[in-house]
């Protein structure tokens, strides 16, 4: 236990001043020796949030400005992951697909930051493959993530803000953020903020929603979804949750089941591969329901072209930038090592 305690204090920092932290009040709080801020530990999870976000998320205070947008998003995803906490065996291959070109052997011995861990499914597999994982999320999803990673290996779950991660600068070998940045008020600023915590020579991996280009059917479908979102993002989470089931049935009826049939006919396989939402053919039905709740309840949704993602990587000064496809854009690159 003392080694875990020492590892925690060695790694985390005050999100306000980057000062070192120490335990207080029978190890139920963390105290910053630099700016005198105190951070609670609840259910074994350090809650390393700046005061405005802490008061809003842990005490129900009213947030304003960008904090209000972040709190709304965090509570939406917290609701989602508490209702869809399942760990499916299909998640492992999904994790590997999101991590390409890195394979499972890439993670062994690395110190990894999961920036926006959700229900913890990716942190679980990063740890399973041998990484020391620090998994952060802004909202109540951290409770689900902690449960889902307890038996995976070395995973430390922390409630924290991607804009102010509570760690020492340049302390991670690898940082990934899968399906998170596009839900933030200023995604590129959050991305650039994360790079401060990457060691020189370390690598970063992100997944962003794509904006359909030269795909009229998908573009039309997305336009319809965007229109419906104008209503659903204003509804109570429980109501959107209920609507997610008929939305998922519609997705299966119009896209997934036809895809499964068409791909068995050699002459129609090319048609099948162009169908929207075909990815759900390889997952349980509840995964599609989960994603419909995500799609129709998340307050913010940004989409990007390949050129947009390439621009992000280039502007950040990353070496060996690469943009790939996986029902969205996978961007990866390496932080330059300064010489001299």
- Residues 330 and 317 occupy one common structural domain: yes
Give the separation between CA 192 and CA 177, rounded to whole angstroms.
Answer: 12
**What CATH number does residue 44 fall under?**
2.20.25.10
**What CATH number does residue 200 fall under?**
3.40.50.150
In three-state secondary structure terms, 178 is strand
- Residues 59 and 177 occupy one common structural domain: no
Give the separation between CA 220 and CA 225, rounded to whole angstroms.
Answer: 9
State the pLDDT at residue 340: 60
The answer to whether residue 250 scores a pLDDT higher than 90 is: yes
**DSSP codes of every residue in 252-288:** IIIIIHHHHHHTTSGGGHHHHHT-TTGGGGGS-HHHH
Domain residue limits at 287? 216-297
Q: Kindly report which listed range (98-107, 306-315, 330-339) carries the lowest average pLDDT score.
A: 330-339
State the pLDDT at residue 2: 59
- Assigned domain for 141 exists: yes
- Residues 46 and 175 occupy one common structural domain: no
Question: 317: pLDDT confidence band, cut at 50, 70 and 90?
Answer: very high
Q: Which residues of 86-111 are buried (b: 16+ CB within 10 A; e: fewer)?
A: ebeeebbebbeebbeebeeebbeebb
- Start-to-end CA distance of the chain, whole Å, equals 41
- Residues 200 and 97 occupy one common structural domain: yes
- Residues 7 and 40 occupy one common structural domain: yes
**DSSP codes of every residue in 191-227:** HHHHHTTEEEEEEEEEEEPBPPSS-HHHHHHHHHHHH
For the chain, give the mean pLDDT. 94
Query: Percent helix, strand, coil in the chain (nearest 5)?
Result: 45, 20, 35
- Residues 206 and 242 occupy one common structural domain: no
The answer to whether residue 1 scores a pLDDT higher than 60 is: no
- Residues 191 and 314 occupy one common structural domain: yes
Question: 6: pLDDT confidence band, cut at 50, 70 and 90?
Answer: confident
Give the separation between CA 234 and CA 72, rounded to whole angstroms.
Answer: 11
Kind of pairing between the strands at 154-159 and 172-178: unpaired
State the pLDDT at residue 339: 72
State the pLDDT at residue 7: 86
Q: 172: which 2 tokens?
A: 């991670």
Entry pTM: 0.94
Distances (CA, A) of 265 to 262, 271, 273: 5, 10, 12
Each residue of 88-115: pLDDT tens digit? 999 999 999 999 999 999 999 999 999 9
Kind of pairing between the strands at 319-325 and 329-334: antiparallel
- Residues 118 and 60 occupy one common structural domain: no
Read off the pLDDT of each residue in 308-332 and give the average, rounded to a whole number. Answer: 96
- Assigned domain for 74 exists: no
Read off the pLDDT of each residue in 215-237 and give the average, rounded to a whole number. Answer: 91
Q: 93: which 2 tokens?
A: 């291959």
- Residues 190 and 223 occupy one common structural domain: no
- Assigned domain for 73 exists: no
- The DSSP letter of residue 138 is S
- Residues 205 and 319 occupy one common structural domain: yes
CB 137 within 8 A of CB 118: yes
CB 151 within 8 A of CB 165: no
- Assigned domain for 72 exists: no
CB 12 within 8 A of CB 166: yes
The count of domains in the chain is: 3
**DSSP codes of every residue in 16-83:** TT---EEEETTTTEEEETTT--EEEEETTEEB---HHHHHHHHH-PPP-HHHHHHHHHHHHHHHHHHH
């Amino acid at each position: 236990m003392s080694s875990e305690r020492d590892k925690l204090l060695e790694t985390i920092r005050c999100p306000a001043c980057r000062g070192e932290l120490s335990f207080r009040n029978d190890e139920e709080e963390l105290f910053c020796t630099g700016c005198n801020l105190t951070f609670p530990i609840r259910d074994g999870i350090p809650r390393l949030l700046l005061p405005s976000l802490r008061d809003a998320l842990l005490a129900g205070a009213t947030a304003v400005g960008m904090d209000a947008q972040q709190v709304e998003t965090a509570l939406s995803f917290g609701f989602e992951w508490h209702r869809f906490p399942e760990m499916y065996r299909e998640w492992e291959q999904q994790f590997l697909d999101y991590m390409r070109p890195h394979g499972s052997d890439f993670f062994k011995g690395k110190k990894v930051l999961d920036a926006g861990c959700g229900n913890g499914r990716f942190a679980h597999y990063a740890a399973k493959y041998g990484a020391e994982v620090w998994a952060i999320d802004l909202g109540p999803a951290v409770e689900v993530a902690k449960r889902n990673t307890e038996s995976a290996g070395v995973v430390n779950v922390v409630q924290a803000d991607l804009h102010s991660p509570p760690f020492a600068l340049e302390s991670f070998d690898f940082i990934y953020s899968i399906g998170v940045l596009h839900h933030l008020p200023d995604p590129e600023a959050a991305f650039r903020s994360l790079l401060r915590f990457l060691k020189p020579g370390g690598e970063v991996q992100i997944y962003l929603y794509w904006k359909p280009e030269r795909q009229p059917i998908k573009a039309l479908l997305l336009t319809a979804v965007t229109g419906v979102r104008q209503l659903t993002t204003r509804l109570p989470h429980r109501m959107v949750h209920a609507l997610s089931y008929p939305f998922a049935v519609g997705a299966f009826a119009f896209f997934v089941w036809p895809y499964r049939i068409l791909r068995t006919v050699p002459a129609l396989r090319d048609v099948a591969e162009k169908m929207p939402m075909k990815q759900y053919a390889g997952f349980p039905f509840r995964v599609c329901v989960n994603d419909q709740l995500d799609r129709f309840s998340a307050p913010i949704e940004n989409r990007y072209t390949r050129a947009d993602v390439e621009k992000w990587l280039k502007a950040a000064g990353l070496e060996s930038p690469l943009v790939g496809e996986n029902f969205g854009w996978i961007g990866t690159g390496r932080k330059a090592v300064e010489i001299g």
